[in-house]
Amino acid sequence: MPDALSRPIAELALRLRDGSLTARALAEEAIANHERCGKALMAYSQWAPDHARKCADAADAAFAAGSVAGPLQGISVSVKDLFAVAGFPTFAGTPRRLPQKFEAEGPVVANLRRQLATLMGKTHMVEFAFGGTGHNAHYGAPRNPWDAGKHRSPGGSSSGAGVSLCEGSALLALGSDTAASVRLPAAMTGNAGLKFTKDRWSCDGVVPLSHTFDTPGILARSTADAAFGFAALDPQLGDAYAFLRRVPAGVDGIRIGVADAFFWDGCENGIDAVVEGAIDRLARAGAVLVDTPLPEAQEAFAVFSEGGVSAIELRAFLDRELPDWLVTIDPVNVPALKRAESLTAREYLARLRRLKEAATIAAARFADVDVIATPTVRLSPHVLAEDTGPEQFWARNRGIVHNLVPVNFLTLCAATLPVGLDRLGLPVGLQLIAKGGDDERLVAIACAAERVLGTPRELLGTPPMCRG
């Protein structure tokens, strides 16, 4: 099957089962794709083609024996280097290998292993996942493949995850989302991303940034692929095909709240027009639009802008577990971690209380709507060389995570799907936000929206650096 990696995962999984496609052939195509353009894009911190071949051969051997270990058997997956993977060191974007305790697999990766997925390697990330631009002073940043002339941000902190999908070396990418880190790189690279409700998936085996907000998540080339991966890995589901059969064929009757000006003001390069056009298409297809203010988002972002809780929780983790790593911390993050030293317990607890109160009120906003729609990111991926110091870096960071942070801080869940290109020819995402705990309904609605709007390949084409 030529260009197998362009097919939906659900189709590939069936072909692997019936023997018309082998996992080894799929892996070899992924390896060839990476070798063709991967050196320039730098998606992986640990590229492991030999390991991938061994995984694929094990999947094929199981198929040949009539054994199906799970829906992801033989499917190519990349894993963010925040996750422990047996046989791989864990660096978490730092210049040194973390102690062995951080190489013990947690439930999410163990599930991939049980299903005999093909693990392609570990993807680059922002150091300790603390930042959204993709910047990493130790290794550099992966390149956003949508601009062949300039090194633009791929989004972070799961910076290599979306790039691995674009280059065709993975069908699914495992990432984490503490304030944006799945949805942001997904949107900036023209992919789909899912941020689940906190504690829906276990964070065991994942190097922590913020124990209050860390959440494993999925990036994929399409929402349908992301949904397949979600159902295959989710401990409450497991039957990916049964889940996809429950996805509505369209959006008729789905109640979509249109977010207030907080999420729209400041959009650049026509991003707002692209997202508005997508929402209008959903309305013409039968979705019911309802103006739905979410003022609690402003309070959540205010707490984030004041310093949030991630910096103090990361600093506490480093002081306790990895004190020697403080001396090599990326200079752009030093001021934030230094300020965390003087944050009082009273102020830390006050921030948590403010967020809890806002989250309680925000949950009630979903009484009359199924999801709330916003632009995923208000700003186009920027040229990384434009960041010259901590102050400029963090100003940019606040701008790109503006629409994403409230989801985490208000204990909600969200999906992003590509809906077009901005005036610079860079991807634009539509974010759909749902009440915490409504993950399954959210993913189904996002899939239904994609069926109306079109797949990323239909809407965006192929990134310039991945053509030919």
Active site amino acids: 80, 157, 181
Would you state the CATH architecture of domain 4-466? Alpha-Beta Complex (3.90)
**pLDDT value of position 394:** 84
Per-residue model confidence (pLDDT) at position 1: 42
Q: pLDDT in tens for each of the 468 residues of the chain?
A: 457 788 999 999 999 999 999 999 999 999 999 999 878 999 999 999 999 999 999 999 999 999 999 999 999 999 999 999 999 999 999 999 999 999 999 999 999 999 999 999 999 999 999 999 999 999 999 999 999 999 999 999 999 999 999 999 999 999 999 999 999 999 999 999 999 999 999 999 999 999 999 999 999 999 999 999 999 999 999 788 999 999 999 999 999 999 999 999 999 999 999 999 999 999 999 999 999 999 999 999 999 999 999 999 999 999 999 999 999 999 999 999 999 989 999 999 999 999 999 999 999 999 999 999 999 999 999 999 876 678 888 888 999 999 999 999 999 999 999 999 999 999 999 999 999 999 999 999 999 999 999 999 999 999 999 986
| pLDDT score at 258 | 98
Whether this model's pTM surpasses 0.85: yes
pLDDT number for residue 5 = 81
pLDDT score, position 39: 80
The two beta strands, 216-220 and 288-291, are unpaired
pLDDT given for residue 2 in this prediction? 52
